[in-house]
Structures are given as structure tokens and as C-alpha cells.
Structure 1
Amino acid sequence: MHFHGYAWAGDGRLLAKESERRPVEGGGFRTSGLPPMMTGWWLLRPAAQIRGTWTTPTDAADWLAERYAEHTPDGDPWLPLPTRHRYAIAQLADASDVVWSRWLSGSRWSGHYAITCPNRTWPTIPCPAGLAAPPPAPTVTRLAARR
């Protein structure tokens, strides 16, 4: 498992363009920069939209924390960055995607996404960067003892 980072910032009113946020034919999904409706759908986007790839949850959470600090210089009084960072590491280690997003000012929206790959919710979506998934762990079969 590895993690891909994605980002989008812009006019939050554009998030209403659902046809660009869903992988439907003719909706412009693949070429859109808007965040998908489902986190795992980021993996359907071109590799050029990937902002970083990491092999450890800590490295992916560090990237999220750096981006969040850029967009939230005064911090978040409800969930301090060290706590948010710790939760992100635990979620990513559990193969869960992590989204840090917020309204900035007026209609400005900022979102940063750490997506697990391969994604357990969307296991048939291949890695957009062409990274091979690790081979499955060997299974151990126990034979019944003969009497």
C-alpha cells in the first residue's frame, strides 16, 4: 500500500458542478481539476494530478500538515494540528483515505487529500502512477490432525 496526495483550492461554488465530480460519460470528470465526490475516485484521474506519493502513513500525514499550515496559518482552535496529524497517521495506517478541507474566506475552498492505493473501497481501480500493488500475503492452511 502507498498513498497519493491531491489538492484543490478555488471558488467553492464550483463544487456544485457534480458532472465534473462523478465518473460519468461525457461529464468531463477525467480532465476536471475539481475534487471527486468520492475520495477513491481521485485514482481515476490522470497521474499528473498527483501532488506526491509516499510509502508510509507518517510521510503522507506530514504532507497534509504542511499544506494545511499553508492554508490555515492561524491553526484550527477545534482540532490542533498535532492532534489532527496523529489522527491522520492512524487513519492512513488503517488504509482509510484522509481529507483535510475548509472554507478559507468568502467562497474560497481548500482541500488536501491523502488517498490509499490500492484503495480498499475501490479495489478495481488501478494505480494512476502505475505502481504495482504488493503481492498478497501467503495464506496458511492448517491441516486437521489425523486420529
Structure 2
Amino acid sequence: MHFHGYEWAGDGRLLAKESERRPIDRAQFSHSGLPPLMTGWWLLRPAAQVRSTWSTPADAADWLVQRYAEHTPGGDPWLPLSTRRQHALDQLADHSDVVWSRWVSDSRWSGHYMIVCPNRFWTDVPCPAAPWGPAR
């Protein structure tokens, strides 16, 4: 088991383009930079969309903390990063994907996604970066 990190930040109104977020039209879906509607569908995207890959939940959670902190200045007043990190560790150790996303302004959306690979819910989806190398 390993973990692929993905992220997307941009005009949140673009998330309404659901046709680009579903793998119905493979070409359109593969070329879209928008986050898929289902977490496991990230694994259907080209390997170039993988930001990095880790072999441990702790390293994957550390990346989430770093990227989330960079994209959400001031943090989340309801859930401190240390608590958020612990929840991510628990989820990843349980082979569950982790999504941290939020509106960071009136129109800007920021999302960070850690996808377990191979994925227990998307067993027919191959690893997009196989054979995957060391974390970059």
C-alpha cells in the first residue's frame, strides 16, 4: 500500500463542470485539472497529476498538513492542524482516502487529496504511477 497526493485550487465555480469530473468521456476527464467527484477516480487520471507518493501514513499526513497550511492562511478555527493530522493518520492507516478542502475566499476553493493505492473501494483501477518511485 502507498499513498498518492493530489491538489487543486482555483475558482470554485468551476466545480460545477461535472462532466469534466466524471470518467464518462475518458479524454475530457483525463485532461481536466478539476477534482473528480469520487476520490478513487483520481487514480484514473494521468500520473502527471500525482503531486507525490509516500509509503507511510505519517509522511502522507505531513504533506497534507504542509499543503493545507500554505493554502489556508490562518488555518481552520474549528479543527486545529494537529487534530486534523491525527484524523488523517487514522484514516490512512485504515486504508481510507483523505480529503481536506474548503472555500478560502468568496470564490476560491482549495482541495488536498490523499488517495490510498491500491484502493480497497476501486479495486479494478490500476496504480496511475506504477511502478511508483520514491516520494518526491
TM (norm. structure 1) is 0.87
- Alignment map for 1:1-147 (pairs within 5 Å): 1-25=1-25, 28-131=28-131
After TM superposition, the runs of 4+ consecutive aligned structure 1 residues lying more than 3 A away are none
Please, what is the CA RMSD of the aligned residues?
Answer: 1.2
Report how many aligned residue pairs link the two structures. 132
AA aligned to 1:124 is: D
Uncovered stretches (5+) of structure 2, i.e. residues with no partner: none
CA distance in 2, matches of 1:86, 1:55: 17
1:48: how far off?
Answer: 0.2
Q: Which has the higher contact order (CA 8 A, sep 6+)?
A: 2
Q: Secondary structure at the match of 1:30?
A: helix
**Cα deviation code 1:85-138 (max 9, x no counterpart):** 000001000000000001011210000000000001100100000138xxxxxx
CA distance in 1, matches of 2:40, 2:77: 29
Larger Rg over CA atoms: 1
TM (norm. structure 2) is 0.94
**Cα deviation code 1:44-78 (max 9, x no counterpart):** 00000000100000000000000011012212111
